[in-house]
Homo-oligomer: A and B are copies of this chain.
Amino acid sequence: MSTTNKATIVHTPSFMDGDEFRVPVFKLLKQDGTAYKNAKLPDLDRDKALRIYRAMLFTRVLDERMLAAQRQGRLSFYMQCTGEEASIVGSTAALADEDMIMAQYREQGALAYRGFEVDEFMNQLFGNDRDYGKGRQMPVHYGSEKLHYMTISSPLATQIPQATGYAYGQKMAGQGHCTVTIFGEGAASEGDFHAALNMASVHQVPVIFLCRNNGYAISTPAHEQFSADGIAPRAFGYHMKVIRVDGNDILAVYQATAKAREWAVENNKPVLIEAMTYRLAAHSSSDDPSGYRSKKEEENWRDKDPVRRMRLWLESKGWWSEEEEKQEQETCRREVLEALKRAEKRPPPDLDTLITDVYETTTPQLIEQLEQLKSHIRKYPEAYPKGVKSLNAAKEGGENA
């Protein structure tokens, strides 16, 4: 039966298009770190505030250093979170640490907040023998079971309906956990987005859809991605709660997510959050944005830097100082560089990782294919330096996790 029995009746054919209403933007902090008049800031104690800020700063530094490393040819590829740290870290901080995060690729701040170690980042970036992903995916495709962070997958938007399913499982398990899935405004054009939000609403699952509307999908500006006023109004099509938030405002993101989580978990219902932000860096190390956007536009957004905004707020609270900033930056830099050096020196994953994890138990066919490969590599050792190393690594044993 149709769900629209109680609709009002009209006798003139008038069309609506959504201009009748607008989704406002929720903001708490001004760029100078002071609160808007009437804004009631969330309860955030000093420890938590500093945990958030340190994660944001670490992410910023990691991104700077690793982009530089990529430029030096030490790394094949890199993607920065720069400009979006508040959306990522602020939302993560509002979750329970056991909540599942299913992100897109630009969300390393979430891992940083949850305590992913600098060596864990580096091992993935270099795809060495300690990479949890066993050197199979490109850099930035992190995953952590213990931190409840689903391994990143390159195909866009696939994680969005998966998040709906994951959250359904959490609801069945009844332990009060939820799932947050993070994605770009570009990915939100995929069919999987529609599937995910509709199913979440129909099946009533505790999932938070967090869209980072950062203005671009590679070179494609948001206004060539959709015609509507952002992503938020799509929620009306699913009768889903929605809030739009200034994504560069750490406190607004934190508070919106906290409320969303509370509501999602208590009611087993999905929520959509649209975080308005900007990708300050290039899309990836392979990209050059000068071909599709202006320096001036970038400058405008640099003035809204979320890290600086939070620092100014912390300083206004007396929780942070110039001195501490310098020292923390220094520490981060040093840690990143040291870890980088450790990671790039490590051997490649064991050759057997070429065929493991395809199935839980490796098939005879695969074992045969590996054996052939091994004897081939032994025949042409100079042609496969990594192959030889990974053969030997296996022989030497012990060292590999």
Residues of A within 8 A of B (CB): 1-4, 7-28, 36-40, 185, 189-195, 198, 201-202, 213, 215, 221-245, 252, 255-256, 259-260, 263, 271, 276, 278, 293, 297
Contacts and interface: CB of A to CB of B under 8 A. Distances in A.
A202 B229 contact: no
A330 B156 CA distance: 58
B241 A17 contact: yes
Contacts of A4: 25, 213, 229-230, 244, 276
B240 A225 contact: no
A237 B237 contact: yes
A221 to B, nearest CB: 5
Contacts of A21: 20-21
A38 B10 CA distance: 10
Given A24-B10, A28-B11, A198 B215 contact: no
A231 to B, nearest CB: 8
A39 B315 CA distance: 65
A247 to B, nearest CB: 10
A117 B116 CA distance: 70
Given A1-B221, A15-B263, A36-B11, A233 B228 contact: no
A28 B13 CA distance: 9
Nearest to A23: B16
Contacts of A26: 9-14
Contact of A191 (B190, B225, B226, B228): B190
Contact of A7 (B24, B201, B242): B24
B11 A39 contact: yes
A18 B346 CA distance: 54
A220 to B, nearest CB: 10
A234 B235 contact: no
B20 A8 contact: no
Contact of A9 (B15, B27, B238): B27
B25 A11 contact: no
